[in-house]
Amino acid sequence: MALTPDAAMQVARVLTEALPYIRRFAGKTVVVKYGGNAMENPAQATSFARDITLMKLVGIHPVVVHGGGPQIGQHLERLGIASRFVNGLRVTDAETMDVVEMMLGGRVNKALVSAINQQGGRAVGLTGKDGGLIRARKLDSDGEDIGQVGEVASIDPEVITHLEAGGFIPVIAPVGVGEDGAAYNINADTVAGKIASVLKAEKLMLLSNIRGVLDADGNLLTGLDTHEVDALIDDGTIYGGMLPKIGCALDAVRSGVRAVHIVDGRVEHAVLLELFTDEGVGTLIRG
């Protein structure tokens, strides 16, 4: 059925608005962190896969880092293994780490790879163990032993750059490997930020289940620089569970990433709306 004149004009406006952004970002790397919560909704997962595929088709190089906390928790519950958290971090003994690797590197990673490939992309699934991508060290959580929870010691991006050059879309599970060969569960935001920094990415996009950074009255702040973010932290506007995500964003910007976007992943086609429209749907943080 043909579009009405009004609908046709709306489509034309959208396409012409996107054109300068496509031209600006062609050939650039954009690292996208995709949360496990969003994967629970099939419509959101399909929307995300289409966004990532379209980015690649117009010449942008997306690198996807995903979480999987809800899926890990659900599987542990089915196995009768209790989840325990310290300072928001899942205590990860050897048995729990086996489940983490199985869910992140297996089920969740492969489902996301499959979703992108079904939309015409060429996605390849990785964990930090592949090609020595993520070297990890044990994380010290205020002196309490929380098992095989790690932080990033170093990133070797060679496997990513080879995949990008070959026309593939890397999809990375945040599992690193220590000097002793042990696997470590690492926060996906942290991994995405470190990878973006090492790649000198044009953008880092953190998709979450929040609208973005809000002011004291609950209004979305669409554009901030690092000084404004620091002021919002100092006056208590940014606090609690938002602090680690903001810390990741600030580290990335200060390490050479041109901009970080904190985006509501619950919005259909949130990635495209944030990249290719004047208004966007989240908070942009620049240096």
Please identify every stretch of the chain with a pLDDT value under 50, giving residue numbers as ranges: none
Q: What is the pLDDT of residue 278?
A: 76
CATH level 2 (architecture), domain 28-286: 3-Layer(aba) Sandwich (3.40)
Rounded to whole angstroms, the Cα distance separating 218 from 244 reads 19
pTM beyond 0.85: the answer is yes
Instruction: Please give the Cα distance from 74 to 225 (Å, whole number).
Output: 38
At which residue do the structure tokens 């995300």 appear? 48
Cα(207)–Cα(180) distance, integer angstroms: 33
Render the burial of 189-211: b for 16+ CB within 10 Å, e for the rest: bbbbbbbbbbbebbbbbbbbebb
Q: Quote the pLDDT of residue 7.
A: 62
CA dist 174 and 261 (Å) reads 20
DSSP class of 214: B
